[in-house]
Every structure is written in structure tokens, then in C-alpha cells.
Amino acid sequence: MADGTEGAPWRRPAHEGPDSPYDGIPLDDPSRSTGSGQATGSGQAGDYRTLTYEVDGRVARITFNRPEQGNSITPDTPVELAAAVERADLDPRVHVIVVSGRGKGFCGGYDLTAFAEQAIPNHDPAKTWDPMVDYAMMSRFTKGYASLLHADKPTVAKVHGFCVAGGTDIALHCDQILIAADAKIGYPPTRVWGVPSAGLWAHRLGDQRAKRLLLTGDCLSGREAAEWGLAIEAPDPDRLDERTEILVQRIAAMPINQLMMVKLALNSALLAQGVETSRMISTVFDGISRHTREGYSFAARAAEAGFKQAVRERDAAPYDDFGPSTNKG
């Protein structure tokens, strides 16, 4: 801030000064790092199984940390994500939360080696399926992701490589998305064995564009995501970090209370559209989609040939977009 405004009193750290409303409140409580009580107090990778957490100035950085598995989602992911968001929310140093992924992409969705290749409770086609047991399981995942939307402080997703299937359930809950121009984002599992449980696509894109993607399982490139209004910006991959930091630091310069009021005011309009109802219905339908004749066939094929082969067959003609492709015909 070369204009001399860095000393403006409204830009003081919120936790400093005798008049601070945060006087006496701890800056950070590492015991909030997980739901399992395994905190080490470092605030770094050792505290979590699926992500890392660090505070850098006024920015909390949550980074998915299963790069060898494409940062795929496990039952630990939503628990740890919600705990990290709460940790940032309660730290008066933090003004904004950034979510990203380590390795080749943001998040490749659910870990299908666990969810598709092997038997899991309440998913045996020879037995009665209880939809409410399924809903209770899946809604806990979605509630963890929704912590990003309901956090007091702004949340920013920095997406590179790929953000597909369940990965979009996470990213779409963020207040802002920046995505590399060459990244891939979408929900191919609507082709078989899935409905996006977050229920946010129509709220983020509008009816026509959401249906264009979900009625085909097609994906967008990062550049298209920005053009369609799903992302706020789609820089070239080598500028994604730079452009994200520019936005994040501009947000971080705002007082926490201003950020909270603006987010609450804008979220009130979003929530009035029926986001919670959309989430509930979509989560129920996601469970149903895994227990149709076609859903059972996909799961059986994944168990027989491996999930990568099952997904390759799902994304074959007429779609022809397996891997990084965003072919739409």
C-alpha cells in the first residue's frame, strides 16, 4: 500500500489493541484440527489425514493432501475440512480462507477404490436398501463441504488440473472460484451412479446451463467456467497462484466484521433460493442413483474391472471425454 493507507486504523489487525473485541481470545486452537483429537499443535500436515492447514498472515490455507490419489474424498475429508474451516473462523488473525489441492489437481471426487470396488454397508443389491441410512451417510459429507458456504469468513477455491464429481461439491460451496484456464470441472457421474449432492449447480449457473451439463455429464474447461459465470476468473495455469493471491490479499485487507456482514447479506439471497432444499433432494436422489439397475451394474463393473476401467467405459462414445478432455460434441 504505497499510498500510506497501511496505517489507517480500520486496517489494524482485529486482535490487536486495547479496544479489540477479540481481547483474550486465543489466536488459534490446534485441538480443533481434527474431530479425532489427534492434534499435534503444529497446525501443519501432521494434524490431518487428508489435508494441511496453515495461517499465512491474514489467510488460512487449507490444502487437500492426497496427491497420489488425486485428492480423492474419504470419510475423513468432510470432517477435517469442517474442522479446519471452524479453526480459521475462530482465529481472529484470519480474514479469508483459501482451499486448494496438492499435486495434479484440486479433487477428483470420491475415492472409488473404497466406494465402488468393494462391498460397503447398505449397498448389497441382494438385501434391502434403507434410503435413510444412505441419506444419513451422504448428508454428513455434504454438511462438511457446506461449512465453506456457512463459514463466517469468505472462502476461495483455487482450482487447477481437475475438479470433478464430488470435487465440485466442495468447490461450489466456496464464495469465489478461481480456476486455471486448462482445468476440467464438472460432474460426469450423472451419466450413471450419481447426482451432485450439493444441489448447487442451478443456483450457481442458472437452470439452462446447469441442465446442459448435468443432463449429459459434460464438463467445462476453466476458461469456459469463467465465461459461464461458474468461476470469477480463469488465468493461464502459470498465473493461477499470482491471480489468486491478488484477490485474496484484496479481500484480506478488509475488516473481518465488514467481510462477515457482506457475506451474510449476500448469502441470505442465495439461501432464499432454496439451497438447503436442493441439497436435501439431491442427496436423496444421489443415493437412489446408486441403487438402480444401472447403478448396480456400474458398481459391479467397477468391482470386476476396477473403477478406472468402469469410468473409461462410462465416458466413452458418445461422450469421448475420459481424462482431461472437455469434449461436448
For residue 177, the domain's CATH number is 3.90.226.10
CA distance 145 to 122: 23
CA distance 140 to 79: 8
Integer-rounded Cα radius of gyration of the chain: 20
Number of structural domains, the chain? 1
Domain presence at residue 10: no
Domain presence at residue 325: no
pLDDT at residue 116 in the model: 61
pLDDT at residue 3 in the model: 47
Domain presence at residue 98: yes
pLDDT at residue 42 in the model: 39
CA distance 173 to 249: 20
| Cell representation of residue 38 | 489427534
Domain presence at residue 61: yes
Domain presence at residue 258: yes
Q: Domain residues for 186?
A: 25-297
| Cell representation of residue 156 | 476461495
pLDDT at residue 118 in the model: 66
Question: CA 264 → CA 10, 79, 268, distances in Å?
Answer: 20, 23, 6
Domain presence at residue 206: yes
Find all residues with CB under 8 Å of 267, minimum gap 6, and list them. 149, 150
Which residues are 56's β-sheet partners? 59
Neighbours of 26 (CB within 10 A): 11
Q: Give the residue from 74, 99, 109 showing the smallest Cα distance to 184.
A: 109
Domain presence at residue 302: no
Domain presence at residue 20: no
pTM: 0.93
Neighbours of 43 (CB within 10 A): 22
CA distance 174 to 163: 13
Question: CA 12 → CA 5, 22, 55, 247, 249, distances in Å?
Answer: 11, 13, 17, 19, 15
> Per-residue pLDDT tens for 154-188?
999 999 999 999 999 999 999 999 999 999 999 99
**What parts of the chain have a pLDDT lower than 70?**
1-6, 31-46, 115-118
Helix segments in 41-194, DSSP class H: 76-89, 112-115, 131-150, 166-171
- Residue 199 is which amino acid? G
pLDDT at residue 34 in the model: 54
